[in-house]
Amino acid sequence: MVSGAADKLEQELRRGVLVLAVLSQLRTLRYGYELRQSLVERGLSIEEGTLYPLLRRLEAQGVLRSEWRTAEGPPRRYYELSADGAELFEGLTATWRGLNTAMDLLLEGERCDDR
């Protein structure tokens, strides 16, 4: 029961940072598989079934723009931040840093209380 809840909570935590992580890697053009590899290499594993539809949703929301490219092998859809997406990325990054600081303080406080 507790381990099931723990898995769910960890998934929710990861889901919260997913969009920002994806945006951070799309400041340059990347296609889905390449993007996933890039995230995995930096320690953030993400399920394909979550990532690939997310790219389409972000594109539909105007956060990303995409194009098909065939020059470097089979046809692949490449994504990168749109102008609005770049602005959003800046905003989300600032929010993330604020949250990070607050969480550090909270977690640090927790450790001090324990002592």
- What is the SS3 assignment for the chain? CHHHHHHHHHHHHHHHHHHHHHHHHCCCCEEHHHHHHHHHHCCCCCCHHHHHHHHHHHHHCCCEEEEEECCCCCCEEEEEECHHHHHHHHHHHHHHHHHHHHHHHHHHHHHHHHC
Under the binding rule (CB under 8 A), the answer on residue 104 touching other proteins is no
Options 9-17, 21-29, 42-50, 101-109: segment touching other proteins (CB under 8 A): 42-50
Q: Residue 24 is encoded by which pair of tokens?
A: 């951070």
Nearer to other proteins by Cβ, of 31 and 96: the residue is: 31
Under the binding rule (CB under 8 A), the answer on residue 50 touching other proteins is yes
Question: What x-and-dash track marks residues 53-92 binding other proteins by CB under 8 A?
Answer: xx-xx--x-------------xxxx---------------
Residue with the two structure tokens 């890039």? 38
Considering CB under 8 A, how many residues would be counted as binding other proteins? 17
Under the binding rule (CB under 8 A), the answer on residue 33 touching other proteins is yes
Nearer to other proteins by Cβ, of 4 and 49: the residue is: 49
- Write out the residues near other proteins by the rule CB under 8 A: 31-33, 47-50, 52-54, 56-57, 60, 74-77
